[in-house]
Amino acid sequence: MICRSPSQKFLLLGAILAGSGVAAGAFGAHALKEILDAPMLQVFETATRYLMYHAFGLCIVSWAIDRYPGRGLQKSGWLFIIGMLLFSGSLYGVSLAGIRWLGAVTPVGGLAFIIGWLFLGWGVWRDVSSRAANQASSQ
């Protein structure tokens, strides 16, 4: 495999997904403006915005994994990826293909985002707390 470590994997995926988000944003602003009505264009833009936020989130996870090692941080990255697939993917399906029932999947993706951010915070907090406890016991 190209990536040797989880941090490299999440940085690569974050970069690819951020580039995809830029492309989707340009597509929405230029090609879809004449095709979609205003509410569906807004749905498409929401999907793209959250794709970008969480692509950057994957880059943060990559940095955090190297600085604060722990499995919770990897879970955060995978939850962001799942969230992007479910949240943004379902909104793209609703806006582009008119598959309205996909809207029921969107909150599951949103929940994956929320839990991913909680895992990220927990993983950093746990590592920092552990280091502080180790320093206190060694003094």
Burial 75-98 (b: 16+ CB within 10 A, else e): bbbbbbbbbbebbbbbbbbbbbee
Q: What are phi and psi of 55, to 5 degrees?
A: -65, -45
Q: Read off the DSSP letter of residue 34.
A: T
Q: With contact defined as beta carbons under 8 Å apart, do 32 and 20 qualify?
A: no
Q: With contact defined as beta carbons under 8 Å apart, do 105 and 83 qualify?
A: no
Closest listed residue to residue 19, CA positions, set 63, 56, 45: 56
Lowest mean pLDDT segment, chosen from 21-25, 40-44, 77-81, 129-133: 129-133
In-domain check, residue 139: no
Amino acid, single-letter form, for residue 34: E
In-domain check, residue 17: yes
Question: Mind listing the pLDDT tens digit for each residue in 123-138?
Answer: 888 877 776 666 677 7
Looking at 4-105, list the stretches that DSSP marks H as alpha helix, in order from N- to C-terminal side. Answer: 6-30, 38-67, 71-83, 89-92
In-domain check, residue 51: yes
Average pLDDT over residues 17-34: 95
In-domain check, residue 98: yes
Whose tokens are 């833009």? That residue is 45
In-domain check, residue 101: yes
Question: Mind listing the pLDDT tens digit for each residue in 78-131?
Answer: 999 999 999 999 999 999 999 999 999 999 999 999 999 999 999 888 877 776
In-domain check, residue 61: yes
Q: Write down the mean pLDDT value for the chain.
A: 92
Average pLDDT over residues 1-25: 92
- Domains contained in the chain, number: 1
Whose tokens are 């951020």? That residue is 18
In-domain check, residue 134: no
In-domain check, residue 1: no
pTM, to two decimals? 0.91
**Token pair in block for residue 34:** 């004449």
CA distance 29 to 103: 22
Which range of 3-7, 9-13, 120-124 scores highest in mean pLDDT? It is: 9-13
Domain span at residue 96? 6-128
Q: Which residues contact 68 (CB under 8 A, 6 or more apart)?
A: 123, 124, 127, 128
